[in-house]
């Protein structure tokens, strides 16, 4: 399979699968249920949707500020306006190929600021690993707070025997991988070990930065804005205003993981959010409507800022000397 075809399939297959899920769920609704979903969406309180969009934009702003600290630590400077522009483009591109935005960030940084690609990409990887640990903290918190409900959700889709098998196989592969990393002299394993060592060094460098506390404060601000972005939409719909913050936290975690591992969550986000909210006595149609309102508001801000960023990008001087 040639590279062009592989890239095309990488873009089209998740989108087609998402479209299939949307059509599949659409076919399951009765005409009355479908009208109910549309009524919920039409009657959404625009004030809370705008507040959610504001929180999304602040997430971009905090991320643009935070990037300065890792760049300064490796000896380069990049102004806030450029960082915000590049990050907006990165999020826009992530709608096509998951995580392609990170590569574009490093490429644009090299093109316009003269930062070597590997060094720029290293700062992005360090940020993403820190963000990954924050997300895993949210996952752990959600599991602790809502363990019984999440157990019911998992067992609905994964039988106990299958779940135990997955855990055992995962554990054995983990032990094997650790053994190979420590003792193997194979060239390929040594290359992987070198990559892991480089990533570890990149993450640990965050703790050595002069501005590490400012970095972590910005990280806290980013994730607070993400939670609030999701939380405000709850109040936009009459049918979801009564749910607890614990429920919001679980739905936020599921939504974040879905968006992280798909092309923006199209088709997947709405269904999984609805499935989670059903566990908390929210009718599927109402949860599905909530998923669409939340996902669409995020999509609009991503497309708007991304399109604006593409227009602004040519105004920057290439390989500017800092």
Question: What would the 3-class secondary structure string for the chain be?
Answer: CCHHHHHHHHHHHHHHHHHHHHHHHHHHCCHHHHHHHHHHHHCCCHHHHHHHHHHHHHHHHHHHHHHHHHHHHCCCCCCHHHHHHHHHHHHHHCCCCCCHHHHHHHHHHHHHHCCCHHHHHHHHHHHHHHHHHHHHHHHHHHHHHCHHHHHHHHHHHCCHHHHHHHHHHHHHHHHHHHHHHHHCCCHHHHHHHHHHHHHHHHHHHHCCCCCHHHHHHHHHHHHHHHHHHHHHHHCCCHHHCCCCHHHHHHHHHHHHHHHHHCCCCCCHHHHHHHHHHHCCCCCHHHHHHHHHHHHHHHHHHHHHHHHHHHHHHHHCCCCCCC
How many angstroms separate the CA atoms of 291 and 272, rounded? 8
Q: What are phi and psi of 79, to 5 degrees?
A: -75, 160
Closest listed residue to residue 294, CA positions, set 319, 311, 281, 277: 277
How many angstroms separate the CA atoms of 263 and 187, rounded? 34
Question: Structure tokens of 58?
Answer: 């602040």
Closest listed residue to residue 240, CA positions, set 109, 26, 44: 44
Q: Are 203 and 129 in contact (CB under 8 A)?
A: yes
What pLDDT is attached to residue 55? Answer: 95
- Residue by residue, pLDDT tens for the chain (322 residues) are 556 655 555 545 555 555 555 565 555 556 666 676 778 878 888 999 999 999 999 999 999 999 999 888 888 888 999 999 999 999 988 887 777 788 899 899 988 888 888 888 888 888 888 898 898 898 888 888 877 777 776 666 666 677 678 778 888 888 888 887 787 778 887 777 776 766 666 566 677 888 889 999 999 999 999 999 999 999 998 888 888 888 888 889 888 888 877 766 777 788 888 888 888 888 888 888 888 888 888 888 998 999 999 999 988 876 554 4
Q: What is each CA distance from 295 to 6, 91, 256, 301, 315, in whole angstroms?
A: 27, 14, 11, 10, 31
Q: What is the largest CA-CA distance in the chain?
A: 64
How many angstroms separate the CA atoms of 4 and 55, rounded? 37
What pLDDT is attached to residue 95? Answer: 80
Query: What is this structure's pTM?
Result: 0.79
What pLDDT is attached to residue 322? Answer: 47
């Amino acid at each position: 399979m040639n590279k062009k075809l592989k890239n095309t399939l990488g873009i089209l297959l998740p989108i087609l699968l998402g479209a299939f899920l949307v059509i599949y769920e659409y076919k399951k609704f009765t005409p009355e249920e479908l009208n109910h979903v549309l009524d919920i969406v039409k009657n959404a309180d625009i004030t809370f949707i705008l507040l959610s969009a504001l929180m999304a934009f602040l997430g971009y702003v905090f991320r643009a500020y935070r990037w300065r600290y890792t760049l300064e630590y490796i000896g380069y400077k990049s102004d806030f306006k450029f960082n915000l522009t590049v990050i907006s483009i990165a999020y826009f591109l992530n709608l096509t190929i998951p995580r392609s935005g990170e590569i574009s960030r490093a490429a644009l940084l090299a093109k316009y600021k003269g930062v070597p690609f590997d060094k720029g990409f290293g700062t992005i990887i360090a940020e993403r690993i820190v963000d990954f640990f924050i997300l895993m903290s949210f996952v752990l918190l959600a599991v602790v707070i809502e363990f019984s409900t999440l157990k019911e959700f998992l067992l609905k889709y994964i039988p106990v025997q299958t779940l135990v098998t997955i855990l055992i196989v995962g554990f054995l592969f983990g032990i094997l991988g650790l053994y190979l990393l420590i003792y193997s002299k194979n060239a390929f394993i040594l290359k992987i070990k070198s990559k892991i060592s480089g990533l570890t060094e990149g993450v640990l460098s965050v703790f050595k930065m002069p501005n590490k506390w400012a970095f972590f404060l910005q990280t806290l601000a980013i994730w607070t804005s993400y939670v609030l972005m999701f939380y405000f939409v709850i109040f936009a719909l009459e049918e979801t205003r009564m749910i607890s913050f614990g429920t919001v936290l679980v739905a936020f975690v599921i939504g974040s993981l879905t968006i992280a591992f798909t092309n923006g969550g199209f088709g997947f986000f709405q269904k999984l959010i609805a499935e989670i909210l059903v566990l908390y006595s929210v009718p599927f149609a109402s949860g599905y409507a909530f998923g669409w309102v939340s996902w669409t508001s995020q999509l609009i801000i991503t497309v708007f800022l991304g399109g604006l960023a593409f227009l602004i990008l040519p105004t920057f001087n290439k390989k500017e000397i800092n």
